[in-house]
């Protein structure tokens, strides 16, 4: 196996040409429709450990009840629970969403913070969610690292890291800033459609010739 670092420009160019044929992440679709940082934040919370189609339906039901921080803070937890069921951990998320909405309404006068440091102070908001809001909601350079980005970046051979946080920090150093926002979309779509954790579909992957396939022992 080659040890030469893959050409990330080639990988990104090829993925941009085809990724919309796959399923674009639901939070990105919501962002494209509304460009609303609050909707992006809430949809991202709902999407955790939940399939995109379930997240889409739950988000639509919840936003029909309230789509701004003050309005959502005025809902009861029971109202939120009923709207978002059956997303994963819907009871926990209902309480979290209400607290987040209250904090934004009171502490930030209804405006979602636009920095990672401020966003991660909100309950239940980690770096993955914060980066999505900053990138998709405000168009500021941000690298959202989820399981797909962490796993596939290492599989490419582009980086060699052990944790998502380490992956984010390394990518911030080596990935050109112009690719930061879209990088998550490209790798999530690739991971869901082709680059599976076990037995990836290398035979139909558009970037197979540029990938070092680090750690791959079996493929299709």
CATH number at residue 42: 1.10.340.30
Could you tell me what percent of the chain has a pLDDT over 90? 92
- Are residues 128 and 73 part of one domain? yes
Domain boundary at 108, 138, 168, which? 138
- Are residues 104 and 32 part of one domain? yes
CA distance 59 to 141: 25
Mean pLDDT for 50-69 is: 96
CATH number at residue 182: 1.10.1670.10
* Residue numbers of the domain that contains 180: 8-22+143-210
Would you state the pLDDT for residue 3?
A: 59
The answer to the question of residue 12 being in a domain is: yes
- Look over the chain and give the mean of its residue pLDDT values, rounded to a whole number: 95
* Angle between helix 37-47 and helix 26-34 axes, rounded to 10 deg: 170
Query: 64 CB contacts (<8 Å, ≥6 apart)?
Result: 83
User: Which of 1, 66, 63 has the alpha carbon at shortest distance from 26?
Assistant: 63
Could you tell me what percent of the chain has a pLDDT over 70? 99
How confident is the model over 80-116, as pLDDT tens digits? 999 999 999 999 999 999 999 999 999 999 999 999 9
| DSSP-H helix ranges across 21-76 | 26-34, 37-47, 52-65, 69-73
Query: 15 CB contacts (<8 Å, ≥6 apart)?
Result: 186, 187, 189, 190, 206, 207
- Are residues 155 and 77 part of one domain? no
């Amino acid at each position: 196996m080659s040890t030469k670092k893959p050409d990330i420009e080639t990988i990104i160019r090829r993925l941009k040409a085809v990724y919309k044929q796959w399923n674009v992440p639901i939070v990105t679709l919501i962002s494209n429709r509304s460009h609303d940082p609050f909707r992006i934040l809430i949809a991202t919370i709902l999407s955790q450990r939940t399939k995109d189609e379930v997240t889409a339906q739950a988000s639509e039901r919840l936003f029909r009840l309230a789509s701004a921080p003050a309005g959502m803070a005025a809902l009861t937890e029971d109202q939120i629970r009923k709207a978002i069921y059956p997303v994963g951990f819907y009871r926990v998320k209902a309480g979290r969403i209400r607290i987040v909405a209250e904090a934004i309404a009171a502490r930030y006068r209804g405006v979602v913070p636009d920095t990672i440091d401020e966003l991660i102070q909100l309950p239940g908001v980690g770096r993955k969610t914060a980066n999505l809001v900053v990138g998709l909601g405000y168009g500021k350079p941000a690298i959202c690292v989820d399981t797909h980005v962490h796993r596939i970046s290492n599989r490419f051979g582009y980086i060699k890291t052990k944790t998502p946080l380490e992956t984010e920090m390394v990518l911030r150093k080596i990935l050109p800033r112009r690719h930061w926002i879209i990088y998550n979309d490209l790798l999530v779509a690739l991971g869901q459609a082709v680059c599976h954790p076990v037995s990836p579909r290398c035979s139909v992957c558009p970037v197979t010739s540029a990938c070092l396939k680090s750690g791959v022992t079996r493929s299709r």
